[in-house]
Amino acid sequence: MKTLKSILILLSFSLAAIAQEQKNPESTELWEPVPPVITPGEATAAPSDAIVLFDGTSLNEWTNDKGEPAGWTVADGCMTVKPGTGIIRTKRGFGDCQLHIEWRSPIVVTGEGQGRGNSGIFLQSLYEVQVLDCYNNTTYSNGQTGSIYKQSIPLVNACRKPGDWQSYDIIYTAPRFSENGRVTLPGRITVLHNGVLIQNNVEIRGTTEYIGAPRPVVHGMKEPISLQDHDNLVSYRNIWVREL
């Protein structure tokens, strides 16, 4: 009886811990290892076979999450998050692709950790490559600049200082699903930040989640690319994609 009672007590503690984890975003934050800081390289121009998603003049290729005109600000050759207007997403859907995108965190630094220059690039609107100002800014490693958010820690921190333009070059392989909804081939992603490899063909374990573990979700082969409104004045320019 004592043994059974002990098992039941341990089980109740385990269930309580699981329940607490599901309500606590800190339970999925990793603070080690911390990616070393390096000096980044330069970005590139669009090749001739690319689909240009933003050329600095209009948001014609984008909508908000309701399919209405995107509400972000376009000025000086870039588009900037307009806090409160919500995410924007491409009108076209994409699966396997090469994506180039340049971004800039605000030159006026406010906030710290995840509250500093935060946005995000969502492949197929589900899998986030984190955009964040991590120049002399500490946060959990699997949530810093260039992380596959809460899934994969970047190899290095290649951030430029606030107000400087930065680039991501992303090679993305979409997940494949069977007819019964099982993942037959996980998605994979490679990311170069300012010309530096920071994610090397890593496996995507499921959807990006703020709280809890990634979840496998069946979806179409071609889905929009989304950019996040996180209430920070992050800017984007020179966005193009090549379908693979």
What is the pLDDT at residue 21?
59
Angle at 241 between CA 90 and CA 192, to 5 degrees: 115
Residue 21: inside a domain, yes or no? Answer: no
> Domain tally for the chain?
1
Q: Is the pLDDT of residue 212 over 80?
A: yes
Mean pLDDT within 25-43: 83
Q: Is the pLDDT of residue 89 over 90?
A: yes
Residue 14: inside a domain, yes or no? Answer: no
Output the average pLDDT for the chain. Answer: 92
3-state SS class at 18: helix
Q: pLDDT tens, 97-142?
A: 999 999 999 999 999 999 999 999 999 999 999 999 999 999 999 9
Residue 171: inside a domain, yes or no? Answer: yes
Give the CATH number for residue 118.
2.60.120.560
Residue of 187 and 43 predicted with greater confidence? 187
pLDDT confidence tier of residue 47, bands split at 50, 70 and 90? confident
Q: Is the pLDDT of residue 43 over 60?
A: no
Residue 89: inside a domain, yes or no? Answer: yes
CA distance 161 to 107: 8
CA distance 46 to 211: 36
Residue of 202 and 36 predicted with greater confidence? 202
What percent of the chain has a predicted confidence (pLDDT) above 90?
83
Residue 67: inside a domain, yes or no? Answer: yes
Domain residue limits at 42 = 31-243
CA distance 76 to 150: 33
Mean pLDDT within 163-192: 96
CA distance 228 to 195: 23
What is the pLDDT at residue 52?
95
Residue 132: inside a domain, yes or no? Answer: yes
Provide the terminal-to-terminal Cα distance of the chain, rounded to the nearest Å.
Answer: 62
Residue 234: inside a domain, yes or no? Answer: yes
DSSP assigned state of 146: T
pLDDT confidence tier of residue 9, bands split at 50, 70 and 90? low
Residue 104: inside a domain, yes or no? Answer: yes
CA distances from 113 to 83, 138, 188 (A): 18, 6, 27
Lowest mean pLDDT among 19-28, 69-78, 168-177: 19-28
DSSP collapsed to 3 states, 194-240 = CCEEEEEEEECCCCCCCCCCCCCCCCCCCECCEECCCCCCCEEEEEE
CA distances from 129 to 14, 126, 217 (A): 32, 10, 18
What is the pLDDT at residue 181?
86
